[in-house]
Amino acid sequence: MDFAISDSQQMVVDTVRAFVERELVTHEQEVERTGKVRPELVAEIRRKAIDAGLYAANMPVELGGGGLDDLTLAMAERAFGWTAYALHYIVARPSNILRACTGEQVDEYLLPTVRGERVECLAMSEPDAGSDLRGMACRAERRGDEFVVNGTKHFISHADLADYVILFAATGTAKGSRRLISALLVDLDTAGVERAPGYNCVSNRGYHNLILNFDDVRVPAAKLLGEEHRGFEVANEWLSSTRLQVAAVCLGRADRALSVALDWAATREQFGQRIGRFQGVSFKLADMRTRLLAAELTTYRAAWLSAQGQMGDADAAMAKLSATEMLQFVSDEAIQILGGMGLMDELPLERIWRDARVDRIWDGTSEIQRHIVSRDMLRPLGC
Ligand SMILES: Cc1cc2nc3c(=O)[nH]c(=O)nc-3n(C[C@H](O)[C@H](O)[C@H](O)COP(=O)(O)OP(=O)(O)OC[C@H]3O[C@@H](n4cnc5c(N)ncnc54)[C@H](O)[C@@H]3O)c2cc1C
């Protein structure tokens, strides 16, 4: 096994780190205090990311993307994880699902999104269908050459910045009551689509979620992404790559939390000595580093498998599970090491601690990841 980082990977990481420090970290306080990223700032960051060659790093070079392999991409995402997600997202990758675009969809959606001219959001979740997506009520009824969509999606991230949605809706029912799901590309300015304010979330200030209502929305059948009734096949690759991304970002957040805690332990004095000399503090640092490394190995292993085209659902699930639960532990222990100052917004720890909470919920809760991992072991035994 070779654990060395190649020169080209190191170069990518250094480039991202420099960009994060120069262009993103400087705006963290503003975003935390105002709860939004000014539209001019969004445009400026996106332009700088495009100029720096960091935009759409996940997309193949032939499509105008950065063409990073999945392992290098995970390293880059980790470096982005140092900062707030509302800022990171502006530079983030377009959804991998878009690679399923065919025919006119390529020019209308895929390529402009890779160029940063269009922005997508993705809508699966509904008030009554979260983990159990097959239970979704939003339906797209086929009528000749078009679908008519009715229903509601909620928790839809960055729908305020997007101009189209990759929408998952029920297009039929299989034997029994299992819904057949299809994916559609729907422009958000189509008649009958309403963007309603979402909820205030404790995590990721400035990164908003919205409610999308669809009332007799007519969508041409040509906007079907992938095959009719096979939306989950289209979604599967995205789900695994998104879980890898969440894991990698958690590593970056933990890097920052650990570095703040380490500096503090090495300089803060109580009882006449630096607190890092108390075993009660130093052992926390040891546990934080050990768990961070374990999550790093699980994440990079999954990313490496993905780059070989061999990543299974369970590999991505283990990466997300280990990294998100590690970050919960590391961010909490970091605050403990700082004491009261850990909770103050002068330092990034309270943000990292708050932001970490959503990572165990979105893109599949920790329980769903455990379900995927255990199913992978038990199913071959007929259980
Ligand atoms: C800030 C934020 C942004 C989001 N952005 C998007 C987005 O852009 N697009 C989108 O489509 N969705 C988005 N989501 C939705 C997210 O993916 C769901 O919240 C998540 O899948 C969980 O669904 P739920 O919240 O309805 O919880 P539920 O599914 O109701 O789960 C509640 C609890 O029951 C547990 N549970 C459920 N089923 C099982 C089971 N089989 N075994 C064991 N335990 C189980 C869960 O683990 C959880 O603890 C977002 C969510 C948040 C919070």
**Helices 279-307 and 231-267, axial angle in degrees (round to 10):** 150
Q: With respect to residue 1, please indicate whether it lies within any of the assigned structural domains.
A: no
Per the CB < 8 A criterion, the answer to whether 102 and 109 are in contact is: no
At 177 the pLDDT is: 75
Same domain, 108 and 206: no
In whole angstroms, how large is the CA radius of gyration of the chain?
Answer: 21
**Burial readout 139-159 (b: 16 or more C-beta within 10 A, e: otherwise):** bbeeeeebbbbbbbbbbbbbb
Same domain, 198 and 337: no
Average pLDDT, the chain: 96
Same domain, 347 and 251: yes
Q: How confident is the model at residue 102 (pLDDT cuts 50, 70, 90)?
A: very high
- pLDDT digits over 323-345, tens only? 999 999 999 999 999 999 999 99
- pLDDT digits over 145-177, tens only? 999 999 999 999 999 999 999 999 999 988 777
The Cα 124–Cα 167 span in angstroms is 7
Domain end (from 225, 260, 284): 225
Same domain, 201 and 257: no
pTM above 0.95, yes or no: yes
DSSP annotation string for 68-81? --HHHHHHHHHHHT
Rounded average pLDDT over 266-283:
98
Domain of 45, in residue numbers: 7-114
Domain end (from 96, 114, 132): 114
Percent of the chain with pLDDT over 90: 95
For a substitution probing ligand 1, which of 365, 366, 368 has the most ligand atoms within 8 Å of its CB? Answer: 365
Ligand 1: residue whose CA is nearest its atom 11: 124
The Cα 364–Cα 132 span in angstroms is 10
At 274 the pLDDT is: 98
At 266 the pLDDT is: 98
The Cα 330–Cα 140 span in angstroms is 44
Q: With respect to residue 108, please indicate whether it lies within any of the assigned structural domains.
A: yes
Rounded average pLDDT over 139-149:
97
At 236 the pLDDT is: 84
| CA-based torsion, 298, 366, 79, 341: positive or negative | negative
Rounded average pLDDT over 255-281:
98
Based on the structure, what is the number of domains in the chain? Answer: 3
- pLDDT digits over 22-56, tens only? 999 999 999 999 999 999 999 999 999 999 999 99
Q: Which residues pair with 121 in a beta bridge?
A: 165
At 176 the pLDDT is: 76
Do β-strands 120-123 and 139-143 pair in parallel, antiparallel, or remain unpaired?
Answer: unpaired
DSSP annotation string for 97-141? GGGG--THHIIIIIHHHHTTSS-EEEE--BTTBSS-GGG---EEE
Same domain, 89 and 188: no
Q: Which residues pair with 122 in a beta bridge?
A: 166
Rounded average pLDDT over 88-94:
90
At 154 the pLDDT is: 98
- pLDDT digits over 199-211, tens only? 999 999 999 999 9
Look-up: residue for tokens 């979402």? 198
Ligand 1 pocket, Cβ-based, cut-off 6 angstroms: 121-125, 130-131, 155-157, 201, 209, 358, 361-365, 367-368, 371
Same domain, 248 and 158: no
Q: With respect to residue 2, please indicate whether it lies within any of the assigned structural domains.
A: no
Same domain, 310 and 241: yes
Domain harbouring 84, CATH code: 1.10.540.10
For a substitution probing ligand 1, which of 358, 362, 375 has the most ligand atoms within 8 Å of its CB? Answer: 362
The Cα 166–Cα 183 span in angstroms is 7
For a substitution probing ligand 1, which of 120, 128, 153, 155 has the most ligand atoms within 8 Å of its CB? Answer: 155
Ligand 1: nearest atom to the Cα of 365: 47
Same domain, 256 and 368: yes
Domain harbouring 135, CATH code: 2.40.110.10
Per the CB < 8 A criterion, the answer to whether 336 and 342 are in contact is: yes
Same domain, 322 and 336: yes
Domain end (from 192, 207, 225): 225
Same domain, 263 and 350: yes
Same domain, 169 and 210: yes
Same domain, 180 and 271: no
The Cα 326–Cα 296 span in angstroms is 10
Q: How confident is the model at residue 320 (pLDDT cuts 50, 70, 90)?
A: very high
Domain harbouring 334, CATH code: 1.20.140.10
